[in-house]
Amino acid sequence: MLENRITEFETLKGLLDNRQYSSFMRRIDGMNPVDAAEFLAWLPEQRQPFAFRLLKKDTAAEIFAELEPEMQSRIVEALSDRETGGILDELATDDAVDLLEEMPAGVVKRLLRVASPDTRAELNRFLAYPEDSAGSVMTSEFIDLTGGMTCAQAVEHIRRTGLDKETVYSAYVTDASRVLQGVVELRQLLFASPEQSIRELMDENVIYAHTEDDRETVANLISHYDLLVLPVVDREERLVGIVTVDDALDVLEEEATEDIEKMAAILPTDKPYLRTSVWETWKKRIPWLLLLMVSATFTSTIITHYETAIGTYAILTAFFPMLMDTGGNAGGQTSVTIIRGLSLGDIRLRDLLRVLWKEFRVSLLCGLTLAAATFLKVYAVDFRFRPTALLENGAVQNNLLVTAAVSLTVFGAIVVAKLVGTLLPMGAKRLGFDPAVMASPFITTIVDAVTLMIYFAVASAVLGL
């Protein structure tokens, strides 16, 4: 598919280069707006505004909505005020709001000035909704019906007013003060008798959100109930907008990426990787690296405390990385499972005891398996190929006891890691923090410290250090 597209892009560019503008316009008009936007982005930068200017007004707005913010600014800068105002008026409210949120303040002022008074009033209202709220992702282009209409009148109303609406497949019934009363699917209208009243036909059991709800809640409702559209109401239950399923898809994808980034100790970005500058990437990554480096003070203090023992029994240090990594991996497995479960709603806060009890049993199983495997591997393989060492103090190193200490620690590390991996994300959620920041790197630091304490305690006891 991709190769075909590049050929098509070349053909289109050829038409531009040979000044066959009308063929170009016909061809790009028949394209899917997503593909057309990708074609414009694929053109050399200096050709983009020119190509964009050739588009018909309504096609232009459709394609403009699909462009990346950087390219939108470039095009806005190249257009005249009249042209920009035209596009802004044609854009769906949610796309126009997206655009304004990405632009620098100066450009926003200019854009609002060139928009028509209606568009301007509408945009100002939408810009007041908090970021990431339902209000900020909804669009006001919905179809409203009144309960008194017949089905035939409703279809006629949709036909008359629906052409530039975001969707015509769900229409909402409101009363005189615009309070949401019910929903009618176009599908129902198709199968109903023309004389039936909308009040009779409508489903009063509407699933809806409030403007100040989080956009993730909205997306989860759409996903949970398999909706195509979700209506959004204000505090007085008046219908003010709708969110469509394609926006919900984008939200869920962005939120998953954000969670993944947080779990990997990165501050979340909303820009694609290749369009983020080196400095920005650095800024997103360095805070956690610094914090985790500083928090490693605990582990180094513990080790320093046992410096003499290590001087005598240096072989103990050979197992540091394995012990740290195993604890970190075991804790990471648990915390990541819990974080994802919390975000999908599979796990709730009140499940804490059930989750702890389950993780405890899993940790016993994993701990036993891994301790046994470690014992076999270290004693039967690692030590077999190594001459019996003499210690600094002249004694013979007891391989069996060293192996026992390592295996016991593996067991303890896994049990602790799985419990910490459960408690930390659930505790964060309880306190109103985002559980995702409690993922592996943070847990690793705690588990490292605990593992070292177990290791030295066990080794001291077993080896008599």
Please give the residues from 242 up to 261 whose contact with a copy of itself meets the rule CB under 8 A: 245-246, 248-250, 252-253, 256-257, 259-261
Interacting span for a copy of itself (CB under 8 A) from 42-50, 78-86, 94-102, 273-281: 273-281
Interacting span for a copy of itself (CB under 8 A) from 76-84, 87-95, 121-129, 272-280: 272-280
Among 228, 356, 457, 462, binds a copy of itself (CB under 8 A): 228
Q: Maximum Cα–Cα distance for the chain, whole Å?
A: 103
Whole-number Å distance between alpha carbons of 446 and 297: 11
Among 121, 128, 290, 390, binds a copy of itself (CB under 8 A): 290
Interacting span for a copy of itself (CB under 8 A) from 75-83, 126-134, 337-345, 423-431: 337-345
Whole-number Å distance between alpha carbons of 143 and 174: 10
| Cβ distance to a copy of itself smaller for residue 60 or 183 | 183
Helix/strand/coil for 18: coil
Q: Does 12 bind a copy of itself (CB under 8 A)?
A: no
Whole-number Å distance between alpha carbons of 229 and 226: 9
DSSP string, 350-365: GGHHHHHHHHHHHHHH
Instruction: Quote the least distance from Cβ 42 to a copy of itself, whole Å.
Output: 14
Helix residue ranges per DSSP H, 185-305: 186-191, 198-201, 215-224, 245-263, 278-295, 297-305
Whole-number Å distance between alpha carbons of 251 and 127: 18
| Cβ distance to a copy of itself smaller for residue 55 or 324 | 324
Binding to a copy of itself (CB under 8 A) within 417-436 occurs at none
User: HSE of 309 in the Cβ direction (CA atoms, 13 Å)?
Assistant: 19
Instruction: Quote the least distance from Cβ 107 to a copy of itself, whole Å.
Output: 25
| Cβ distance to a copy of itself smaller for residue 17 or 346 | 346
Cα dihedral sign, 149-155-159-165:
positive
| Cβ distance to a copy of itself smaller for residue 83 or 434 | 434
Binding residues for a copy of itself, how many (CB under 8 A)? 115
Instruction: Quote the least distance from Cβ 14 to a copy of itself, whole Å.
Output: 19
Retrieve residue 216's tokens.
Answer: 């993730």
Among 103, 107, 303, 457, binds a copy of itself (CB under 8 A): 303
| Cβ within 8 Å of residue 55, ≥6 positions away | 25, 28, 29, 63
| Cβ distance to a copy of itself smaller for residue 101 or 280 | 280
Give backbone dihedrals phi and psi of 231, rounded to 5 degrees, phi first: -75, 150
Binding to a copy of itself (CB under 8 A) within 316-335 occurs at 317-322, 324-326, 328-330, 332-333
Interacting span for a copy of itself (CB under 8 A) from 109-117, 138-146, 174-182, 382-390: 382-390
Whole-number Å distance between alpha carbons of 380 and 371: 14
Whole-number Å distance between alpha carbons of 459 and 58: 75
Q: Does 176 bind a copy of itself (CB under 8 A)?
A: no
Binding to a copy of itself (CB under 8 A) within 196-225 occurs at 205, 207, 222-225
| Cβ distance to a copy of itself smaller for residue 64 or 85 | 64
| Cβ distance to a copy of itself smaller for residue 85 or 421 | 421
Give backbone dihedrals phi and psi of 4, rounded to 5 degrees, phi first: -55, -40
Per-residue x/- track, 127-166, a copy of itself (CB under 8 A) = ----------------------------x--xx--xx---
Among 297, 172, 194, smallest CA distance to 241 is for: 172
Instruction: Quote the least distance from Cβ 282 to a copy of itself, whole Å.
Output: 4
Among 351, 379, 427, 434, binds a copy of itself (CB under 8 A): 351
Angle at 428 between CA 425 and CA 431, to 5 degrees: 155
